[in-house]
């Protein structure tokens, strides 16, 4: 468990470095861009639907932060200490940020004409915590808001700086492209029917689906359902690059299993590309009989694949 001890020690060392920022200024000597004023109070009350007759003689207490906001042009006054603290967290891999909560205390009402000044202090940095979002540290800053120099309220703001949980999405097969030329084929597959197009002009079967006949040029067609018998006309065995969606890793080695992609000649005479299943790829042979089956790849995707009709003797395997 040496690695865990090392990790615990690194976490502890980081926490001590983060704690050293507690009590340091996050912003100093800041001034509100506007004095407390009736138009801003009126806009706020309209936006919030607050019709209290107390306003705008005084400002709604929950407007406290509004008087400190820098707007698009931002605020001067943010300290190097706050940036350095966030930089330490970034460097430790806690690169994501989410605001978690804020708390306000109101000491006296703000009135039109009050001149706002404020400072902010890094109040606390938590030990490393693991949340549903990921592992990281909570950082709480406290802003002291003054009106004409007198403390009028405080605004505590807490963020979580964290390393997001790496969610490994389950590998899914790419979706087929379904358009007006191929929709009928995929609708057939969803009913477990493998449909081949048949030209109604000259009777030629065709696969894959096309808007017109290559033999006579007719755009008119109907379909016939394949009976599901076929043989391996040609094949490749895919080793690299590995695609987990196409073949689960070997549980013994963790490395991806090779899988077979075959060109299957259907008994109707057309050929289609698909997977060959039910046989180790090394045992696949040209001419091997296969039969159609429908693979439920995931909740949304069914695919026609071809299973070897009978087991291949082991000594025949490469
Ligand atoms: Zn034709």
Flag whether 48 is in a domain. Answer: yes
Residue that finishes a domain, picked among 136, 164, 192: 164
Give 45 Cα–ligand 1 centroid separation in angstroms.
73
Q: Which residue has the tokens 């590998």?
A: 171
- The average pLDDT across 179-191 equals 95
pTM here is 0.53
Residue 220 pLDDT > 90, yes or no? Answer: yes
- Here the tokens at position 91 are 């460097």
Task: Write down the mean pLDDT value for the chain.
Answer: 91
- Cβ(30)–Cβ(141) below 8 Å: no
Same domain, 141 and 32: yes
Looking at the chain, list the stretches that DSSP marks H as alpha helix, in order from N- to C-terminal side: 2-19, 38-48, 80-91, 183-190
Give 30 Cα–ligand 1 centroid separation in angstroms.
81
What's the CATH number where 109 sits?
A: 3.10.129.10
Give 205 Cα–ligand 1 centroid separation in angstroms.
8
**How many C-beta atoms lie closer than 10 Å to residue 288's C-beta?**
20
Same domain, 310 and 220: yes
Residue 19 pLDDT > 50, yes or no? Answer: yes
Give 217 Cα–ligand 1 centroid separation in angstroms.
6
Residue 230 pLDDT > 90, yes or no? Answer: yes
Give 61 Cα–ligand 1 centroid separation in angstroms.
80
- The average pLDDT across 117-130 equals 95
Give 222 Cα–ligand 1 centroid separation in angstroms.
11
By residue range, what is the domain housing residue 211? 183-316
Q: CA distances (Å), 134 to each of 4, 86, 267, in order?
A: 18, 17, 55
The per-residue pLDDT for 318 is 40
The per-residue pLDDT for 25 is 94
Flag whether 136 is in a domain. Answer: yes
The per-residue pLDDT for 311 is 60
Give 7 Cα–ligand 1 centroid separation in angstroms.
70
Give 209 Cα–ligand 1 centroid separation in angstroms.
13
Give 218 Cα–ligand 1 centroid separation in angstroms.
5
- Here the tokens at position 44 are 């706020």
Partners of 110 in beta bridges: none
Segments of the chain assigned E as strands: 25-31, 96-106, 116-125, 129-130, 134-147, 150-164, 195-199, 205-206, 221-225, 229-238, 259-266, 271-277, 289-298, 301-308
What's the pLDDT band for 93 if we cut at 50, 70, 90? very high
- Cβ(232)–Cβ(285) below 8 Å: yes
Flag whether 5 is in a domain. Answer: no
Give 235 Cα–ligand 1 centroid separation in angstroms.
29
Residue 269 pLDDT > 80, yes or no? Answer: yes
Same domain, 190 and 301: yes
- The average pLDDT across 91-101 equals 93
Flag whether 176 is in a domain. Answer: no
Flag whether 72 is in a domain. Answer: yes
Same domain, 67 and 24: yes
- The average pLDDT across 19-30 equals 94
- The average pLDDT across 14-36 equals 94
Flag whether 178 is in a domain. Answer: no
Same domain, 192 and 292: yes
Give 254 Cα–ligand 1 centroid separation in angstroms.
50
Give 76 Cα–ligand 1 centroid separation in angstroms.
76
Give 208 Cα–ligand 1 centroid separation in angstroms.
15
Helices 2-19 and 80-91 sit at what angle, rounded to 10 degrees? Answer: 170
- The average pLDDT across 124-152 equals 95
- Cβ(294)–Cβ(195) below 8 Å: no
Residue 312 pLDDT > 80, yes or no? Answer: no
Residue 199 pLDDT > 90, yes or no? Answer: yes
Of 297, 295, 265, residue with least CA distance to 277 = 295
Give 26 Cα–ligand 1 centroid separation in angstroms.
78
Flag whether 3 is in a domain. Answer: no
The per-residue pLDDT for 2 is 47
Same domain, 156 and 29: yes
What's the CATH number where 261 sits?
A: 2.40.50.840
Give 214 Cα–ligand 1 centroid separation in angstroms.
7
Residue that finishes a domain, picked among 113, 132, 164: 164
What's the pLDDT band for 317 if we cut at 50, 70, 90? very low
φ/ψ region of 200 (left if φ > 0, alpha if ψ in -120 to 50, else beta) reads alpha
Flag whether 283 is in a domain. Answer: yes
Give 196 Cα–ligand 1 centroid separation in angstroms.
13
């Amino acid at each position: 468990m040496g690695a865990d001890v090392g990790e615990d020690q690194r976490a502890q060392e980081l926490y001590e470095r983060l704690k050293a920022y507690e009590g340091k200024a996050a912003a100093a000597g800041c001034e509100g861009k506007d004095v407390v004023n009736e138009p801003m109070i009126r806009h706020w009350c309209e936006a919030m639907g607050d019709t209290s007759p107390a306003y705008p003689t005084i400002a709604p207490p929950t407007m406290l932060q509004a008087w400190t906001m820098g707007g698009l042009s931002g605020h001067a006054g943010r300290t190097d200490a706050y940036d350095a603290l966030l930089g330490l967290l970034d460097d430790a891999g806690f690169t994501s940020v989410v605001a978690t909560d804020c708390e306000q205390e109101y000491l006296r009402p703000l009135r039109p004409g009050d001149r706002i000044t404020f400072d902010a202090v890094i109040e606390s940095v938590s030990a490393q915590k693991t949340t549903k979002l990921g592992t990281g540290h909570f950082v709480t800053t406290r802003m002291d808001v003054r009106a004409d120099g007198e403390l009028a309220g405080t605004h505590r703001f807490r963020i979580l700086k964290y390393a997001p949980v790496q969610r490994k999405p389950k590998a899914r097969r790419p979706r087929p492209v379904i358009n007006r030329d191929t929709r009928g084929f995929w609708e057939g597959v969803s009913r477990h029917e493998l449909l081949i197009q048949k030209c109604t002009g000259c009777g030629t079967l065709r696969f894959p689906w096309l808007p017109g006949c290559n033999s006579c040029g007719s755009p008119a067609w109907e379909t016939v359902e394949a009976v599901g018998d076929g043989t391996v006309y040609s094949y490749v065995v895919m080793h690299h690059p590995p695609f987990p969606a196409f073949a689960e890793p070997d549980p013994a080695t963790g490395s991806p299993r090779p899988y077979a992609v075959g060109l299957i000649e259907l008994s109707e005479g057309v050929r289609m590309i698909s997977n060959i299943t039910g046989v180790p790829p090394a045992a696949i042979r040209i001419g091997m009989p296969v039969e159609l089956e429908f693979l439920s790849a995931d909740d949304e995707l069914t695919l026609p694949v071809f299973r070897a009709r009978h087991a291949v003797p082991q000594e025949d395997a490469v």
